[in-house]
A and B are shown apart, each in its own frame.
Chain A
Amino acid sequence: MELLVNQVLAGIATGAIYACMALAIVMIFQAIDHLNFAQGEMAMFSTFMAWQLMEWGVPYWWAFLLTLVISFAGGVIIERLLFKPLAKAPILTNVAGFIALFAIINSVAGLIWDFTIKQFPTPFGSSPFLGSQLISTHQAGMIGVTLALLIALFLFFRFTRIGLAMRAAAAMPESARLVGINTGWMVALGWGMASAIGAIAGILIAPVVFLEPNMMGGVLIYGFAAAVLGGLTSPLGAVLGGFLVGVFENLVGTYIPGVGNELKLPIALALIVTVLVVKPTGLMGHTVVKRV
């Protein structure tokens, strides 16, 4: 029993990573009604930028802030330059675009910073949290930041005019234009925000998984799974999904015999898919009523 509790707690701790990534994913989904497969790579690139700034002597929090601003701008620019021309193209073509972006960013990062693993500092330190052996102060910090982000996003969408405009533009773009909203810029803004959130996720994750161009691969998949599990329309669902996925992953690794690291992923995904078969819109998503 104690093992179970410990593994659950440890799962929640690692789940913070996925929760953070899932938030960025849901953020972009709120803005453009589909998912960006290159988001992990964008987060990785942002994290490398932060690392580079610190290598050049910029103190941690300044590097953090600067990276956020650059990531935000980067997200907006990428959307306006690369994806605005594809706005009228079919969805699958846009997906191909995301894949292309993924390949480009991954390759360029590898060229600039090569594939050797680098250390990334944490502002929270890595001592045991409140004396517990299971959660380090860094992991507690991750959970804290993720929750703070969640609250900030909730307030933004619920109580600001621009948050309302973004929600409207994502839900019904044509109706949004008919109330004077420039839907193109709402999408760009969504990308910028998702990029910034991704940067935060990357900066928090890097101390744990170590910095290298392929660091976000597994995280992105689990992040997607978490976002989908939570119901793609709900930031709270994304965070809950993230924690749940972390717990699933841990329990699968502990309790199912013969499962090495490689099989953890498909089994965790299979569990998630099972949940989806039972509840197709995810834990906290709402069923969309479609009129024919």
Chain B
Amino acid sequence: MSGLGLKNVTKRFGQNEVVRDLTLDVASGEFVVFLGPSGCGKSTLLRMIAGLEAVTTGEIRLGPRRIDDLAPGDRGVAMVFQHYALYPHMTVRQNMAFGLRNIGLPRDEIARKIASAAQMLEIDALLDRKPAQLSGGQRQRVAIGRAIVKDPQIFLFDEPLSNLDAALRSRTRIELARLHQRMNATMVFVTHDQVEAMTMATRIVVMNQGRIEQVGAPIDIYRRPATRFVASFIGTPAMNFLAATPTGETGGCVTVRLPDGTTVPTAIPATKLPRSGPFTLGVRAEHIEPGRGTPARVDVVERLGERTLIYALAGDGSTIVYDEPGEFAPPIGERVDLAIDPAHVHLFDADGRAYHAEARA
């Protein structure tokens, strides 16, 4: 297994810059997820690593080798496609053998590799069937098997779960995580679904408009999003954003005022904050609860079973969502005052940069 290095990688389609000057290092054995909305460049990046798109400028390295000028088959890369891309006219066995035969491996070695991969993925019974005779989940395992037998340096996954229904999706997530542990393989996974990213990744690379917004472990990205975009993209329900104006400090930390006049203390050191605004306050639903604070009126209630989401309208018409454990829900239209936990307040400046509470000693 090798590590992946991307250095100043840029991709242009005509005038359109899809990936901008991207630099990233993936350690050997990591499970990295490229996460972002449609059009952010994550799939293009994956395809450049695979060799299906040419790099406009920059370098890609796998281990010590530079691979961005090599043919796709010569890179030591294996890819699982979104729609599996199995060869329809070949059996499962032939699908898995195709790549190995092309590089001239002896027959018995090919048979051995197929047998071991098939056993690992529990598809041995399917080896002589054709893709049309398989279910979606089975096809996906064959696609993974086809990647495994090549013994690649790195596995690439292009949104492999989006084709599956919800139940199958969570089962496959677990299987992929198990696979990663078993093989100790370097894996790069592309998705737009932040739940997948949060549950599977050792590190998440959040991308937006061709650039990396943040790289980090899931929980770090969750707790300390580097930009407003990351903060809005990660977490369900999405983080609340309210316009905020700094009005002074308490104990060295900034206090802000919301549009309706309420003041909210924070744990963000005043010295860290830039001088000029405008600023936005960000706080997650789980860090708001009824108490002394912003007045609001209950608008919509969503009961999820283990918790309830309550959407309330603040004085200036903006929506604030907070959650309550269990099934408790206030009646619609009732007035409720919302207290915001200062220790979990984030501030975002005009450029979207985030400022977080300092960790207490």
Decide if A and B are genuine partners: no
